[in-house]
Amino acid sequence: MSENFPNLILRPPLFYNWHIGIRFQLGIEWTRDYDYESNPYLNGVYKRAVSLFKSLHSQDEEIFIVVDVNDFGDGKPYKNRRRIISPYVYRRTVLYKMKHTEMPYIFPEDDEDGKYKTHRFTLECKVSEIKYIPLLKAICNQDLGIQPSVFHRIYLINIKRGTIFHVYDGRGCDLLAASPKSISDIYKIYNDWILDYDRAEIDKVFN
């Protein structure tokens, strides 16, 4: 992590924290009528998130799943490390490798009294060991009130390729890279999915 992304603070908005990246739009043409499962909007969100993930990760590659859990000192910190990811792994023995770090709240500007904390859980595993499609769907569900949902911030780090993939909710996702070359094919293939608001800055990196 420190070799590929020196001095990067792993927190949203991830795209604006690093000089090489792409911000993709996942959800398009949402309406209030789409408040049910398997609606056209949500199916489109799922398709984009899963397609991007598959293009970035092969089944035999090692990745790090990083999960940040907020602790506001209200007695409700989510410290059961297995329960966070357990629905999304094929074998529970994989969870024994999960590591936990307690750190100062990742958004210190919102913690004037210094009472909040962030629990960071890190799991190293192979792509083939995780149910990444249900995981991605649960992340995308969080802003639409559809279950199952995952409300914690989850980053998928590919050390070999030097990438960080972060779906922040059904609206979009950020892809960071150690070098433009490592994601230039993604930039070309999924160019139509790039968020127009940031397109000019993204184009400068790859052209």
Residue 62 lies in a domain: yes
The answer as to whether 37 is a domain residue is: yes
Counted domains in the chain: 1
pLDDT digits 0-9 by tens, 141-182: 988 778 899 989 999 999 899 999 999 998 999 999 999 999
pLDDT tens for 46-92 read: 999 999 999 999 999 999 999 999 988 765 555 565 678 999 999 99
Note the pTM of the prediction, 2 decimals.
0.93
pLDDT in tens, 102-126: 999 999 999 988 899 999 999 999 9
Return the pLDDT at 136: 97
Mean pLDDT, the chain, rounded, equals: 91
| Contact status, residue 177 vs residue 5, Cβ threshold 8 Å | no
Please report whether residue 6 resides in a domain.
Answer: no
For residue 174, the enclosing domain spans 14-206
Residue 4 lies in a domain: no
pLDDT at 192: 97
Amino acid at 59: Q
The radius of gyration of the chain's CA atoms, rounded to the nearest angstrom, is 17
Residue 193 inside a domain? The answer is yes
Would residue 7 count as lying in a domain? no
- In a domain, residue 176? The reply is yes
Question: Considering the domain boundaries, does residue 1 fall inside one?
Answer: no
Residues 6+ apart with CB under 8 A from 134: 87, 88, 148
